[in-house]
Amino acid sequence: MDQIITLPKGQFTPLNAVTIPGLISAAINLSLIISSILFVINLILGGIKFIISGGDKERTDNAKRQLVNAMVGIFIVFSAWAILNFLSEFFGIDLINYEIPLLV
């Protein structure tokens, strides 16, 4: 009654193939995704606050501030990403994936 155990197969990387540069690249991509999700949530919440402010000056200003902060935050995140991509192309070093070419 020996049972053969088969492991599920998928898109996962085996642990012996995980590298520090790969983890850094994944962290950069994950931070872009999380910041985009938070941007959309802040934008929606700020819009709802603006709509239900009822003309109250202080609540309207708080909602506008939240909307502006969401826009500034996403601008900063994607500007940093664009600068990394520009520097990668300019210097020929892949800063996003951290694959630095060897000098031979």
What are the residue ranges spanned by the domains of the chain? Answer: 21-91
Does residue 95 carry a pLDDT above 80? no
pLDDT at 27: 86
Distance, in Å, from the CA atom of 64 to the CA atom of 48, rounded to the nearest integer, reads: 11
**Averaged over 93-100, what is the pLDDT?**
66
Most confident of the ranges 23-27, 62-66, 89-93: 62-66
CA 87 from centre of chain: 19
**Averaged over 93-99, what is the pLDDT?**
67
Does residue 47 carry a pLDDT above 60? yes
Summarize pLDDT for 63-89 with one digit per residue, the tens. Answer: 999 999 999 999 999 999 899 888 888
Residue written as tokens 């929606």? 44
Distance, in Å, from the CA atom of 66 to the CA atom of 56, rounded to the nearest integer, reads: 16
Q: Are the C-beta atoms of 43 and 63 separated by less than 8 Å?
A: no
